[in-house]
Amino acid sequence: MVGIVIVSHSHVLAQGVCELVRQACPGGVSIAAAGGTDDPDQPLGTDATKIHAAIEQVGPADGVVLLVDMGSAILSAETAIELLPPNLHGNVRICAAPLVEGAVAAGVTASSGGDLETVIREATRSFSAKARQMGQDVSVEEVEGAQPASGASEVTVTMRGANGLHMRPAAQLVQAASRFQSTISVRNVERPESPSVSARSLTEVSTLGVGQNDRVAITADGPDADDALVALRELFERSFDEWDESAPQDGSEEEGERPQGVLVGVAASDGVAIGPAIFWSPAEPEVVRRTVDDVGAEWERLRRAIEQARREIDSLRRAGEASSDRATSQLMVAYELFLVDPVLVGKAHHRIIAERVNAESAWQWAIQDACVRYESSEDQYTRERGGDIREVGRRVLCLLAGLDVAPPTLEEPHILLADELDPSVIARLPAEKVLGIALARGGPTSHAAIMARARGIPAVMGIGRSLRTISLDTLVAVDGHRGYFFPEPDDANLRTLRASAEELRRQLAEARAKSLEPAVTRDGVAMRVLANVADLATTCAAIESGAEGIGLLRTEFLFRTRRDAPTEEEQYASLKEIVEAAAGRHLVVRTLDIGGDKPVPYWKFGREANPLLGQRGIRWCLEQQAMFKTHFRAIFRAASHGPLSVMLPMIASSHEVHLAKQVFVEALSELEKEGLAHDAKIKLGIMVEVPSAVELIEHLLEEVSFVSIGTNDLSQYAMAADRTNAHVASLVDALHPAVLSMVRRVVIAGKAAGRPVCVCGEVAADPLAVPLLVGLGVREVSVSPPAVPRVKEAIRALDVKRAETWAKEACRFDSADEVRHYVEGRLER
């Protein structure tokens, strides 16, 4: 990390700037103060020896930036640099940025991994940003010494996506731009009045109003400008890998043909629902502007609320990722980017400092300012994004006010009515308790509509405020195909609606019957399609979807929804239910995988600089011998009720397997002595999620009966990119040739050792990946329950010999994008 030294004539000022930077950089920053002198009679001044000591304290391995206040501070800083060894002089730089703004910009950039040149550039341009915010016309070139715009590289691309550059593709653009050192800006060519905005700001990019077929100019200036333009142009050329989010067509008849008593809205999610109504209003915090004395404490309040909101949204993202719910996971990535958007957060921070107002008032102002820009757009899709950012903002305001942001509690199945619904609320609703959704506002392209479709919940939107007049438990009906909402439907309407619902059920039954058939390729090669599950409900859903077994049962559900650790009896009872629900199908239980991005509140993991590289999975369990043995005992006892194997997560070496086996054997021995029913011949397997496990796979296969490749973690470790970090998550792609080659090696080794190999990562549900996995020799996959039918269909359409050729070719490419384009081209033929 680049170090920062604050040089000031005042000791207090230097310390204060350091504290401000630390608060602005919760992830940590290397910074030191070198202010004032040690002379009590002349405390104001600068001292080269103190500056020299501060430089040595923070660096200079990755470089050091010195920010100075005025006059002799520059001379003292230059003298301090001269005191360093000559080979370090070029690695320590004095920056001409304003002290306070420059220090904050430098700290944020350094803590995000920026190199020395990037930190200096971002610190220097902080003055021009402030000047523009205050309405002053200041040339960026004049202030930061940047190259003239004419020296920058530029490409023009076309936005092909049906909904334009809306929030999700904008989030991908921001993620991609953040990987480069160059200064990158974008503008909408179709709107001459549209300004160039930073490609690193989601709120700025999303308000450009870029629609389908609009041209976008991308400008990059810096050491990797050409690479940046190639990467961003490729994003546009492949339409940001957008999934089909088309809404059901509005099938409403002419006015005279509408049923009696119907309220006409917008068809948002197909299906028919009939049931009692419940209207839900989320907590609405009251914001009162107050003047505050301690602006640092107020900024810290806001920062903590934003961070808590980010953690909650990240939890939803992980849940979506774990269940292969791409709609949820990608929407939550975009929500996270809103919460770390430097423009949005910077405006709130500036308002707290400049106007000495409370956090609630500053944050509300920043959110409203962003919403105005969204909602003034001529494009409907962009206007609807205003509701998204308002919901993100409301979540932070609720946390500041101590209000509950949980979704509604439904004891019995209902049709949920509301003015609007945050997609994160829909993501947490129990599907079995929500028969349908009817909203006063919103349209078919709103994220609430997208989420309703993703979860298969019938929905109608844009009905109006009359929904508020409907009493609790009033019988209502939703027709998500025609966009109709029936308050208290009469007998004739009920007959029609029930007939429509029955026809839908018949169609679903036909589809389910097909999903129960085996998955066999066109040339007669059988594949086993299993399911990844997280609890009893998802196990039942897996069986319904046609899964031939459970390839991965995540046992974290036993631990994460409690205030204390579950007992052996509690674990056993829950696991027994799941084994019985599997109805004789084989079940693979993964032992507890917590730590990293999966904490448990009652176990303190301690602060780790890189938690995904720390005490997680098997490492944590081996540190908790008593807990681990209890866990094994519960699993072994559950195995007496049906076929079951056990699997260890995050194995990196044979030594870890040996240690786990000791606990494994002790648990079995104890159960034998106590006479408790259990399976003494239970098989042990491992997850291959760490590159070292791939390298040692032949040795590991000697220790276990089977392996399962977890491509989600394997991809992030192979690419050295944290998949929970919105800025680099796009690098984590299991279709990267490096990951595919790892899969191939494990499959070959498994075949040679006579050990089954399953792929249970999210990639197994990707239609573009299925042919490659089959071609690599994979004969068993485990996916989320909803994905089982479509994976089986994809397998049935394949010819193994052709798939083998595709897989061999794919491993020769250089990137995941090339692999995707190659497979897409083959499938289209």
443 in Cβ contact with 384 (< 8 Å): yes
Torsion of CA 346, 351, 354, 355, to 10 degrees: -170
Distance CA 473, CA 479 (A): 18
- pLDDT of 596 strictly over 70: no
- pLDDT of 141 strictly over 50: no
Q: Please give the pLDDT value at position 380.
A: 57
Do strands 550-554 and 587-590 pair parallel, antiparallel, or not at all (unpaired)?
parallel
| 387-414 pLDDT per residue, tens | 677 878 888 998 898 887 667 778 889 9
Best mean pLDDT range from 122-136, 454-468, 680-694, 759-773: 680-694
Q: Please give the pLDDT value at position 511.
A: 64
Q: Which among 248, 730, 792 is positioned nearest to 521, based on CA atoms?
A: 792
What's the order of all strands across the beta sheet hosting 266-269?
263-264, 484-487, 475-479, 272-279, 414-418, 434-439, 459-461, 266-269
Could you tell me what percentage of the chain is helix, strand and coil, using 3-state DSSP and rounding each to the nearest 5? 50, 15, 35
The tally of CA atoms less than 13 A away on the side-chain side of residue 71 is 8
Residues with catalytic function: 447, 760
Which one is predicted more confidently, 504 or 596? Answer: 504
**% of the chain at pLDDT higher than 70:** 85
What are the C-alpha distances in Å from 321 to residues 328, 331, 724? 8, 11, 10
Distance CA 501, CA 671 (A): 51
127 in Cβ contact with 105 (< 8 Å): no
Superfamily, domain 255-282+407-498: Phosphohistidine domain (3.50.30.10)
Q: What is the SS3 assignment for 8?
A: strand
Are 3-144 and 255-282+407-498 in the same CATH fold?
A: no
Distance CA 583, CA 627 (A): 29
The tally of CA atoms less than 13 A away on the side-chain side of residue 390 is 18
Over residues 554-572, the mean pLDDT reads 85
Superfamily, domain 522-828: Phosphoenolpyruvate-binding domains (3.20.20.60)
State both tokens at 812: 């020769």
Distance CA 231, CA 227 (A): 6
Distance CA 545, CA 62 (A): 53
Q: Please give the pLDDT value at position 28.
A: 72
CATH code of 149-241, in short, is 3.30.1340.10
Sequence letter at residue 552: L
CATH label, 3-144, candidates 2.60.40.10, 3.40.50.970, 3.40.50.10490, 3.40.50.510: 3.40.50.510
**% of the chain at pLDDT higher than 90:** 37
| 320-368 pLDDT per residue, tens | 665 555 566 667 777 777 787 877 888 899 899 889 999 999 999 988 8
Over residues 675-700, the mean pLDDT reads 96
- pLDDT of 130 strictly over 60: no
What are the C-alpha distances in Å from 84 to residues 60, 116, 159, 348, 516? 10, 18, 52, 40, 73
Distance CA 653, CA 692 (A): 7
Q: Please give the pLDDT value at position 255.
A: 43
Which one is predicted more confidently, 602 or 574? Answer: 574
φ, ψ of residue 754 to 5 degrees: the values are 70, 30
- Residue 691: asked if its preceding bond is cis (omega within 30°), the reply is no
Do strands 459-461 and 475-479 pair parallel, antiparallel, or not at all (unpaired)?
unpaired
Distance CA 804, CA 740 (A): 13
Over residues 538-552, the mean pLDDT reads 91
- pLDDT of 146 strictly over 70: no
Tell me what the pLDDT averaged over the chain comes to. Answer: 83
774 in Cβ contact with 808 (< 8 Å): no
- pLDDT of 450 strictly over 90: no
- pLDDT of 561 strictly over 70: no
Q: Please give the pLDDT value at position 275.
A: 94
| 189-233 pLDDT per residue, tens | 887 777 788 888 776 787 787 877 788 999 988 888 888 888 888
pLDDT band at 599 (very low <50, low <70, confident <90, very high): low
Distance CA 101, CA 153 (A): 28
pLDDT band at 256 (very low <50, low <70, confident <90, very high): very low
Q: Please give the pLDDT value at position 379.
A: 57
pLDDT band at 272 (very low <50, low <70, confident <90, very high): very high
CATH label, 295-401, candidates 2.40.50.140, 1.10.274.10, 2.60.40.680, 2.30.30.20: 1.10.274.10
Distance CA 374, CA 97 (A): 32
- pLDDT of 164 strictly over 90: no
Q: Poorest-confidence range of 161-165, 566-570, 663-667?
A: 161-165
Which one is predicted more confidently, 46 or 172? Answer: 46
Q: Where are the domains of the chain?
A: 3-144, 149-241, 255-282+407-498, 295-401, 522-828
Q: Please give the pLDDT value at position 727.
A: 63
- pLDDT of 149 strictly over 50: no
